[in-house]
Amino acid sequence: MSKKDNYNFSYSIDDLKALITVDTINSTNVNKYNNFAYYISKTKNGNSKAIYLYNEILKKFPNRTVAYLNLADSYWAIDNKDLAKENYKKYVELMQSQKKDLKKIPKEVWERIK
C-alpha cells in the first residue's frame, strides 16, 4: 500500500462546488485553495477533484503558473497525457514569459512534453 492509499477524501465535487460558492476563490485565499487541491490530489482517487479545483482557480487566475503544473500532474496521474502535456506546456510558457528561473522546472516536465 502506498502512502497515497492511506488517505481518504470523502468530499464530492458537488461539495467542492458548494465550498467555492460560499468561500469564493480570490487573491486572499488562492494559495490556500491551491494547497488544498494539491493535498486532495495526493489522496486516493483525489485527482479528479483536484482537477476541478485547479480549473476553478485558473478561471480566476489564468496566469497562476503553479496551478498549471499541478493541474498537469493530476492529469498525468489519471493517464490523460494529452491534457497533461497541454498544461505542462502552458506552465513552461508562463515560466518563460514571467521571466522565472527555468532551472526550477522539474525534470519530468521536460520529459513529458516531448
Q: Would you say residue 14 lies in a domain?
A: yes
Q: Would you say residue 5 lies in a domain?
A: no
Q: Would you say residue 1 lies in a domain?
A: no
Q: Nearest 5 degrees, angle CA 48-CA 51-CA 56?
A: 135
Q: What is the CATH number of the domain that holds 96?
A: 1.25.40.10
pLDDT above 70 covers what percent of the chain?
92
Range of the domain at 18: 10-112
Q: Would you say residue 3 lies in a domain?
A: no
* pLDDT reading at 3 higher than 90: no
Q: Would you say residue 4 lies in a domain?
A: no
What is the C-alpha to C-alpha distance for residues 58 and 93, in angstroms, rounded to an integer? 15
Q: What is the pLDDT of residues 26-80, one digit of tens each?
A: 999 999 999 999 999 999 889 999 999 999 999 999 999 999 999 999 999 999 9
Q: Would you say residue 83 lies in a domain?
A: yes
* Residue 26: partners with Cβ closer than 8 Å, 6 or more residues away: 60
Question: How many structural domains compose the chain?
Answer: 1
Helix (H) or strand (E) holding 33: helix 30-41
